[in-house]
A and B are shown apart, each in its own frame.
Chain A
Amino acid sequence: MNDTADPHTAAEQDRYADRHDEHDTGARPPGAGAVTPADAADASRLVSFGLQPKLLPARDLEYAELIRRHRDDPAFARLADAVATGLGLVVLEVSARAGMALAAAEDSVFSVRMGDYSRRAASDSTDRFLHGLAHLAVAAMAFPRPEDLADDGYIGRITVNGVDSFVRQACRRLEERAEEAGENTDPASDAPGLEAAWRVYTRRSATGATKDARRLSGSTIGIIGKAVAFLVDSGFLQKTADDAGGTYRTTARYQLQVRDLASSAAMAELLELGVVPVSDGTAALAPADDSDELVADAGLPFHSH
């Protein structure tokens, strides 16, 4: 069954093929003994491939072979998953399209800390919020509808400037709503933590000229640009053009990470705060309207609600 001529793993593969046959016939109880050091080495090798997020099985023959083995041999799969778990990693998916998609477990040596990410964010709570918000906004813009996040074949496209305008627009709507309601949104001077989140974003400048013609790192576009560059290094985004501050498309890994991990973690935190967002599975980016009927002759295929 192994027709790939890879001398490095050929011997193990032969051994594995024998065991595999045994296992299929039920001669060997699952999980019982017989893990050789070579198997452990292969499983660890697969995990080490997974730790190189930009590497894809399609580009590396050995990686592709190990992915195939993970799929076909449950014992090997368990072994590889155990290696990953022991290292403090969460296996999101093992597939030909995403490779071994790994995420750092909480407090793992592989996890990214805000302080390492941005020195300013570690000390300044406003910057900390803006950096986190940038990551959330990039994800929201990359997967604007729930079905985009659910659909494995979906590839999101974002631009740095687009993400900024998107958040600014959302903030502006909140500002207008607050104005209509006659609220005073100016925060009390001695309680900066009570300032509304949108207001923090609105008052930060979008961009700014610098002496060396680089992006102003403290501006919102600078913050989003940093987030996007970081996600590229994580193998989550790929740059396609320089237009509009940089144009990027999403990878399978990013979708997995957002869908299976990040969105639920953030949602849990939001529920903790007592905010219960209700969704019927349709996108919430619909116009606010108070009439219940489909507007006649408007030629628009969505209901107002």
Chain B
Amino acid sequence: MRPPNLCVVTATVHHQTPPGAPRPAPGPAADEGLARRLKALACTAPLHDLDVRKANLAGEYTVYSMAEVALASIDLVTLNMDFDTGADHEQVVARLLPRVAAQAPRRPAAEHERVARWVLENLINVGSVDRGFRAVYGTFGPDGAYVRRDYDFKLVEEVPGPDGGVYLRTTDEAVNVLVGALDTDVASAQIAAEVKLEVLIERGRLADAQLAAEQARYRTVQYAESLRRALEATRRNVRAVDWLRAVPDLIAEALDHVADRYRHENAILTNIRRVRDEAEAVDHRTGEHKRRAAELVDIVKDCIRRHTQLQSRLLEAGPLFRAEQDRQAFAAPPARAGTDLYGQLLGPLLPLPVERASKVTDAFFASGTGLRTPAAARVCDLVDGLLTPPLEREHLGALMPEPDLVATPDDSRFSDEQMDTALHLLDLPPDAPRRLSGLLAEARRSDPELPYLLALLAVHAASPPVGVAYRQGEERLLFAVDDGTPLDDPEFGGADLIVGTATLDAAAMAAERAS
């Protein structure tokens, strides 16, 4: 069979147009626009497909609206995408469950989970080799020939996380499907959305404002994503990234953006907080108003958090570049010329058609993998081998050796009983503080070692842990004050502290913490 070549391909469906007849395609621009719309349409197909295929599932699943669950999961993955990693699979499933459960509240929870997992797996398209989708569309070539082309895309893709786990990220296509017409300049879209948000809040139209804020957040995520890619590439290879212009420009632009947005969002936050706090929940309408304002506060807070995260990454970029530069530029000069594996092999290879590129990779594979010594089996070994029962695969890994533990000697100076006695002595009523000298004398009567512990505790009490007590909402606090009286004691010197217990207003503190 002849290998396919260009003329075979373009001649597949040839339109026999008589000379002078109108071209089948109205023009290349219109054709391109059509192709773009076909691709956009294709991105939504997997969602419709879910609702079509749910009937084939074992069980009665028609009650679930799969496209809705799918859109919700794209939403969740997008919003949970972090700077470094994507969203956690299990977390996304867990957050999907309330929506799935709401669609069929009488069904068992296990079924809800099954539906959530099924939708997520289908968005990844787990069954396919590429874990992606393919749509076929047709275009007219410059000579008027009709060519069918494959459009490959992904909606949710799996990426490796720094901990070795697998995380989910939504692709640009998915975000486009989700928010629609997001294929615009990120910065200008962001500005537009936020101006709109401000106006909406001023007019008190909070429902619209919430929508705008959510869209602004998607754009923020998208911005972070493009930056993440640039920085990641920088980390890998300094020279592969344009550090003369592109990256410095990008960083400067992004820093400006962060500063600008931060100011903006703080202003918005103040604004909505006022709405939230001033709106009295007297009737149903203002109650709704108040709830929306509270949600908006959360969304804008999240935006600010994302900006702060982005900014810290931006500040790391410069030092990272310099460190890599040092490592790579100040290496010893070459002893002799070697092959530039990237520049001369991998680089020129990637743009080639896969059929031709395979010849090069095959050649590299054949001579670059090393050698294997062929195994020579004897019949008796073979019989033994075949009769040996297969080893169970260890699910739990290798057996952990029992650790050889040596009991550490108890070298603490004071025993638990001594501690209890000392604490009991210091358990003073709030209205009756005592002098340290008296406490020491009392302690000495029961145990000659005890005064040391008591003195130690009293000295600690001279600087009481007020902050901790406040945060933990404790009701009592031991304190010690020096009023200038010298300590008259055979073993200790210094000030004769006044030791007492202060009572704290736990309820008031809790109220203050909450505000």
Contact = CB atoms under 8 A, between A and B. Distances in A.
Interface of A: 51, 53, 89, 102-104, 106, 108-112, 114, 116-117, 125-126, 128-129, 131-133, 135-137, 139-140, 143-152, 161-162, 164-167, 169-172, 174, 184, 186-201, 203-209, 216, 218-219, 221, 230-231, 233-236, 242, 244-245, 253, 257-259, 261-270, 272-273, 275, 277, 279, 281-289, 295, 298, 300-302, 304
B354 A193 contact: yes
Contacts of A285: 237, 239-240, 342-343
A209 B92 CA distance: 14
A137 B364 CA distance: 10
Given A184-B149, A257-B367, A284-B344, A207 B361 contact: no
A209 B166 contact: yes
Contacts of A161: 160
| Majority secondary structure, B binding face | mixed
Contacts of B154: 203, 205
A194 B355 CA distance: 6
B354 A258 contact: no
B150 interface: yes
Interface in B351-378: 351-374
A215 B25 CA distance: 47
Interface of B: 3-4, 6, 8-10, 12, 35, 89, 124, 126, 129-132, 136-137, 139, 147-152, 154, 157-160, 162, 164, 166, 229, 232-233, 236-237, 239-246, 325, 328-329, 331-374
B166 A190 contact: no
A283 B363 contact: no
B140 to A, nearest CB: 11
Contacts of B342: 140, 144, 170, 283-285
Contacts of A102: 371
A163 B514 CA distance: 50
A111 B371 contact: yes
9 contacts: A136-B349, A136-B360, A149-B339, A205-B131, A206-B158, A216-B131, A270-B345, A281-B337, A288-B242
Closest 4 CB pairs of A and B: A284-B343, A132-B361, A234-B370, A147-B334
B363 A268 contact: yes
A265 B361 CA distance: 10
Contact of A261 (B6, B158, B164, B368): B368
Given A103-B371, A117-B365, A235-B370, 11 more contacts: A112-B372, A125-B354, A129-B354, A131-B365, A150-B336, A184-B149, A205-B132, A206-B160, A219-B158, A263-B345, A302-B239
Given A112-B371, A197-B354, A301-B329, A279 B343 contact: yes
A258 to B, nearest CB: 6
Given A136-B364, A146-B337, A191-B4, A270 B236 contact: no
Given A129-B358, A146-B334, A285-B343, A242 B148 contact: no
B171 to A, nearest CB: 11
Contact of A194 (B9, B89, B360): B9
Contacts of B242: 287-289
A44 to B, nearest CB: 14
Given A111-B366, A129-B358, A162-B236, A207 B158 contact: yes
Contact of B369 (A125, A190, A207, A234): A234
A214 to B, nearest CB: 10
B463 to A, nearest CB: 44
Given A148-B338, A189-B149, A269-B359, A165 B12 contact: no
A129 B357 contact: yes
A301 B244 CA distance: 10
A147 B236 contact: no
Contacts of B160: 161, 164, 206-207, 221, 244-245
Contact of A281 (B158, B229, B334): B334
A186 B139 CA distance: 11
Given A140-B345, A265-B367, A206 B157 contact: yes
Contacts of B132: 203, 205
Contact of B338 (A136, A143, A234, A289): A143
Contact of B358 (A106, A125, A186, A267): A125
B389 to A, nearest CB: 21
Contacts of B367: 103, 257, 261-262, 265-266
A110 B136 CA distance: 44
Given A231-B370, A234-B370, A209 B3 contact: no
A110 B369 CA distance: 11
A140 B346 contact: yes
B89 A209 contact: yes
Contacts of B348: 270, 275, 277
Contacts of B355: 125, 193-194
A191 B149 CA distance: 9
Nearest to A169: B233
Contacts of A258: 341, 368
Given A132-B358, A191-B8, A207 B159 contact: yes
B369 A231 contact: yes
A170 B166 contact: no
B338 A150 contact: yes
A277 B366 contact: no
A231 B6 CA distance: 38
B164 A242 contact: yes
Contact of B356 (A131, A198, A273, A304): A273
Contacts of B341: 136, 139-140, 143-144, 149, 258, 263
A126 B151 CA distance: 17
B353 A196 contact: yes
B236 A169 contact: yes
Contacts of B366: 106, 111-112, 265
A209 B165 CA distance: 9
Contact of B339 (A259, A295, A301): A259
Nearest to A201: B350
Contact of B354 (A196, A236, A282): A196
A284 B348 CA distance: 11
A187 B150 contact: yes
